[in-house]
Structure 1
């Protein structure tokens, strides 16, 4: 059964690639971890029905959970793609370097890991393949050449980098140009209203210079920017997520000022706090789309509302000032 979206959203390209996506990436880190197979299918169905088409995962998700070995998220996505028959209507991004069986970015590991990911996903080609974390033990030349070879072989369509410094990204581009290798088209940094180093650490500058699509992770600061955690005791309340303690760390004077600004603007737009936090990110220079995850359709609704929420210049300034 092929599922057709009921909502049509304007699309944008991933950097200089031919890949077109709607401006929100569904983070699949929760699939197989805090969302079981049925819950994950429900969220994926709702995301596509709401107009989304871009799914972000990694081969290591969720090896940290008791009894897990890595690849659980990719497996669930693969089963969903097979059951829905909609491979051609979605864009799939995954990553290499954190799966316990495939750590690091040596060429032999990259080639083995991509085959494992393709098998779990049940697809012939990965749309966007990231180097998940820099590997200081492997010469960057080896990693760059291996990723480029995956494009040439048809196993991936485009290259992305995540958790790299601006200096290392510049080095990657230098090596790729000198060797005639395929260039990265996407960058995945840690960036949100309360984590703004992306603006000053050189990453935004190189993203703009090299025309990299920027997809931000921890876009809602582990749930803090969804307004879920306003008191320290919220981290231990029934139903609190596995990331609650990390979210509570933002609950200081600055964090409360950000929540106050989000509350005010969310009320004006008649949307959820999370919607405003994601809209702020989407409207930042160089950002193509935020990545956000949801365990239930109810949580997903606030994420999808970012498609139609545009903040005014004054609202953007208000939020930026509150989080300064």
Structure 2
């Protein structure tokens, strides 16, 4: 799976026939919002210097500011032919259109290309499912853009297992361009994709590029048990922030996971974040992990996780303490009757 390139970061193929990317990717959601342009450019420079080749953005990051910053940086360095650039569309449709409709997708792609200063987008992720647009219409629009040379590969983000399988099946039966990858939330605290999405990806051979590998900062050890965060951190600014909210994740299970992460980090004299990233890189199907950071210092610390290799025993400890148990029905019943191997491989085979 790993390919030999003259970089300090390992690389792999992002799904069947997909591009070759660095196994650590640069997520740019903070660009133009929490990270100003000068710091964003420094992050981009240092990511490339470290051997990174996969840069991910979206049209809604900073209302397009993230794409614009990347575009200006790319122009200043003479282009990005040496990189794989991904962006996403779905949540910023033009007036009168649903997010994944033909009209919206075509306009979103054209606007992203202008902001990025590119002739083609290497990987275009649909940012989420659209209940109001037939999947055939979305796939037909994406296929036409691939054939027009505006997109090289398509992918999806934030979908359920049945939605992903419907995308794959419709693409196959309709002779549309199939997705090569999926971008879900995945980390030691939230392993929900292991029930359906991850097995679906493994069955189809799709690459997985997880976002939030550090659980929104939880897995860095920066938060304290029983003390709501304050100060200049993600949850310090907004303790109610989405799926990462303090009151949602302030559970005994979270603290048990953190205790194990901290213990293994101490054994290696490494940061807890390195351990969390190393575990994620070891998971079946995971191709490239998205690193998002406010500062260049945070990014450099995360990039240093690339050379940490955990033992099978250490990986087992982390997988066991963070296990998301299969609900008794239908998963537990199916596992008992059919001896399903995939959940055993993922460490989710014990019924609750």
TM-score, L = length of structure 2 = 0.84
Q: Closer, same or farther in 2 for the Cα pair 1:264/1:186, shift >3 Å? A: same
Preserved contact between residue 204 and residue 286 of structure 1 (Cα < 8 Å):
yes
Instruction: Give the match's secondary structure for 2:155.
Output: strand
Distance 2:223 2:293 in 1: 16
Question: d(CA) in 2 for partners of 1:320 and 1:148?
Answer: 39
Q: CA shift at 1:139, angstroms?
A: 0.8
**Structure 1, unaligned stretches of length 5 or more?**
63-69
Q: Which has the larger radius of gyration?
A: 2
C-alpha separation in 1, matches of 2:112 and 2:150: 10
Q: Over aligned residue pairs, what C-alpha RMSD do you find? A: 1.8
Residues 224, 247 of structure 1: 8 Å contact kept? no
State the 1:148 CA deviation. Answer: 1.1
Give 1:112's aligned residue.
107
User: 3-state DSSP class of the match of 1:173?
Assistant: helix
Pairs aligned (count): 311
Q: Distance in 2 between matches of 1:75 and 1:135?
A: 26
Match of 1:214 in 2: 208
Task: Give the structure 2 partner of residue 132 of structure 1.
Answer: 127
The separation in 2 between residues aligned to 1:114 and 1:276, in whole angstroms, is 37
- Counterpart in 2 of 1:204? 198
Alignment equivalent of 1:94, drawn from 87, 96, 103: 87
Distance in 2, matches of 1:136 and 1:155, equals: 25
1:11 aligns with 2:34: no
Q: Is the 8 A contact 2:156 2:181 kept in 1?
A: yes
C-alpha offsets along residues 175-212 of structure 1, whole Å, 9 cap, x if unaligned?
Answer: 21222111100001121101011111x11111011111
Residue 21 of structure 1 and its aligned partner are, at CA, apart by 0.8
Deviation at 1:215, TM superposition (A): 0.7
Structural mapping, 1:167-316, within 5 Å: 167-200=162-195, 202-233=196-227, 235-236=229-230, 238-241=231-234, 242=237, 244-245=239-240, 246-248=244-246, 249-316=248-315
d(CA) in 2 for partners of 1:188, 1:293? 14
Compute the displacement of 1:19 (Å): 1.0
Q: Measure, in 2, the Cα distance between the counterparts of 1:18 and 1:214.
A: 12
Q: Following TM superposition, by how much is the alpha carbon of 1:109 offset from its aligned partner in structure 2, in angstroms?
A: 0.8
Whole-Å Cα distance in 1 between the matches of residues 257 and 178 of structure 2? 37
Residue in 2 that maps onto 1:55: 55
Deviations 1:89-115 (A, max 9, x none): 111111111126475100011001100
- Report how far residue 231 of structure 1 moved: 4.0
CA–CA separation in structure 1 for the residues paired with 2:32 and 2:94: 18
CA distance in 1, matches of 2:232, 2:160: 36
CA distance in 2, matches of 1:173, 1:96: 19
Contact persistence 1:148–1:181 (CA under 8 A): yes
Q: Which residue of 2 aligns with 1:72?
A: 65
- 39-48 or 300-309, which moves further after superposition? 300-309
After TM superposition, give the deviation of residue 251 of structure 1 in Å.
2.6
1:105–1:143: 8 Å Cα contact kept in structure 2? yes
Distance 1:273 1:258 in 2: 11
Query: Larger deviation: 297-306 or 138-147?
Result: 297-306
Using the size of structure 1 for normalisation, the TM-score is: 0.91
